[in-house]
């Protein structure tokens, strides 16, 4: 008989052979200050020390261990329930969701907001619901934007990373000879997770205005870190020029879920047409309540200030040692070139108690393997010094410095 199944074993072997197979390995975390202890299972080697410092998470404000946020989640679980139980449009809609959405809209200065079950779902649902004819997409945009573009059936035109003149050229090219009533969407991450670069949002808005396009900004790595808990749109003062501001609740906001903010009409359309919203169970109430509390803390506390102090201390120290640190955000990538050097540096740093895994192809282009260093607001000055010492010694040991 014919075998019409799937040879998954061979696929996994191919990944193994290419050194690209990834595995899951739970860790016993003590999230505060970015520590975790020995792994409790999985197949990664047992660590030498029993408490390492993590400089590689997206928990930028260190809020996943904040008591106030844990209490908010606990309270929502106790009063509203652990799960929404249905799509928001059926019986899954609660006041906890509306409170979060009000706070998000206020932070972003928009009419309204809508919470999704993840940032991934927010991107895919929003791009497809807009039904654009043409999408202009930064070449380094996140996978969830790329998947939204694919599912939308739009013509997708990539422009060079953070390059406004190139974007303009692509817009002008398309304007020449195509119908004037096409709907155009320019979409960009605002902080790029592997490069630490920040999108030139005002330049993008200028180009959009000139050609009549809409702008959609994914603030996943920026939400909660800038002015009053906003993102780059707020930092650059262009919140009212970005038609769709979107992000995740899972990074600085220490929870899980995604959101979109924008006009009344935008949110009403998404409530009706974003399939990842309509046909998916509402965000869990504890996650919504945790995100609300985190946003409140980010807006009113000093966590952002502490994060940026740590970022500048670490960036200055690494650059003084001779490392070339990319970008202009809280993410500090050090590009070392080939995969082996990146793995060697990650291992040498880890032997010194600092966790910054190597980022390799296919996540980043061949020849640009790197370590992505991400300090947290909860790292102490001693933690930053320990990280710097580890990078000094490790860099010398493997001949990079
Ligand atoms: N957009 C960007 C830029 C991201 O980095 C991520 C998460 N890595 C997402 C969207 C997806 O967010 P979530 O993890 O909430 O699905």
251 noted as active-site residue: yes
Is residue 278 classed as helix, strand or coil in its secondary structure?
A: helix
Domains in the chain, ordered, with CATH? 20-65+302-397 (3.90.1150.10), 67-300 (3.40.640.10)
pLDDT tens-digit map of 188-223: 999 999 999 999 999 999 999 999 999 999 999 999
Q: Token pair for residue 100?
A: 């979060």
- 97, 108, 142, 221: which one is catalytic? 221
Rounded distance from Cα 207 to ligand 1 centre (Å): 26
CA distance 40 to 128: 40
Q: Which residue has the higher pLDDT, 47 or 155?
A: 155
108 noted as active-site residue: no
202 noted as active-site residue: no
Q: Token pair for residue 314?
A: 């670490």
Rg of the chain (C-alpha set): 22
H or E stretch covering 38 = strand 35-39
195 Cβ contact partners less than 8 Å away, ≥ 6 residues apart? 140, 161, 326, 327, 331, 333
How far apart, in Å, are the Cα atoms of 133 and each of 77, 176, 182, 210, 387?
Answer: 42, 15, 6, 18, 48
Residue 248 alpha carbon, nearest atom of ligand 1: 15
Amino acid 32: pLDDT: 67
pLDDT tens-digit map of 360-381: 988 899 999 999 999 999 999 9
* Beta strand segments in 65-139, E: 112-116, 134-138
In short, whether 251's Cβ falls inside 6 Å of ligand 1 is: no
Q: Residue 334's beta-bridge partner residues?
A: 325, 371
The percentage of the chain sitting over the pLDDT mark of 90, rounded to a whole number, equals 88
Q: How far apart are the first and last CA of the chain?
A: 61
399 Cβ contact partners less than 8 Å away, ≥ 6 residues apart? none
Residue 189 alpha carbon, nearest atom of ligand 1: 3
What ipTM does the predicted assembly reach? 0.99
Q: Token pair for residue 306?
A: 């502490």
pLDDT tens-digit map of 12-57: 999 999 878 888 877 666 666 777 765 554 444 444 456 788 999 9
Residue 250 alpha carbon, nearest atom of ligand 1: 15
pTM given for the model = 0.94
In short, whether 222's Cβ falls inside 6 Å of ligand 1 is: no
pLDDT tens-digit map of 75-93: 999 999 999 999 999 999 9
């Amino acid at each position: 008989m014919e075998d019409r199944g799937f040879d998954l074993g061979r696929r996994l072997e191919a990944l193994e052979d290419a050194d690209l197979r990834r595995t899951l390995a739970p860790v016993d975390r003590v999230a505060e200050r970015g520590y975790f202890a020995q792994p409790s299972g999985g197949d990664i080697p047992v660590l030498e020390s029993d408490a390492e410092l993590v400089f590689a998470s997206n928990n930028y404000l260190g809020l996943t261990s904040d008591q106030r946020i844990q209490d908010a989640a606990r309270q929502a679980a106790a009063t509203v329930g652990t799960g929404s139980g249905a799509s928001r449009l059926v019986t899954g809609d609660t006041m906890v969701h509306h409170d979060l959405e009000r706070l998000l809209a206020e932070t972003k200065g928009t009419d309204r907001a809508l919470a999704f079950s993840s940032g991934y779902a927010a991107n895919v649902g929003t791009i497809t619901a807009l039904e654009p004819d043409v999408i202009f997409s930064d070449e380094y945009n996140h996978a969830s934007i790329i998947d939204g573009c694919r599912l939308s059936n739009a013509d997708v035109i990539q422009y060079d990373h953070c390059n406004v003149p190139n974007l303009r050229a692509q817009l002008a090219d398309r304007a020449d000879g195509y119908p004037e009533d096409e709907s155009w969407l320019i979409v960009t991450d605002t902080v790029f997770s592997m490069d630490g670069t920040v999108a030139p949002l005002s330049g993008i808005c200028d180009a959009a205005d000139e050609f009549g396009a809409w702008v959609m900004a994914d603030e996943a790595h920026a939400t909660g870190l800038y002015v009053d808990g906003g993102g780059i749109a707020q930092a650059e003062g262009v919140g009212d020029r970005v038609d769709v501001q979107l992000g995740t609740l899972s990074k600085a906001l220490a929870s899980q879920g995604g959101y979109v903010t924008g006009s009344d009409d935008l949110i009403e359309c998404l409530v009706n047409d974003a399939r990842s919203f309509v046909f998916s169970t509402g965000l869990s109430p504890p996650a919504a309540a945790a995100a609300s509390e985190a946003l409140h803390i980010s807006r009113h506390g000093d966590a952002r200030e502490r994060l940026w102090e740590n970022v500048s201390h670490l960036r200055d120290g690494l650059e003084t040692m001779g490392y070339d640190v990319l970008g202009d955000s809280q993410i500090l990538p050090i590009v070392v070139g080939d995969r082996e050097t990146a793995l060697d540096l990650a291992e040498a740093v880890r032997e010194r108690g600092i966790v910054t895994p190597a980022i390799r192809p296919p996540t980043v282009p061949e020849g640009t393997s790197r370590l992505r260093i991400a300090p947290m607001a909860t790292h102490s000055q001693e933690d930053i010094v320990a990280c710097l010492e580890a990078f000094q010694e490790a860099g010398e040991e493997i001949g990079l410095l």
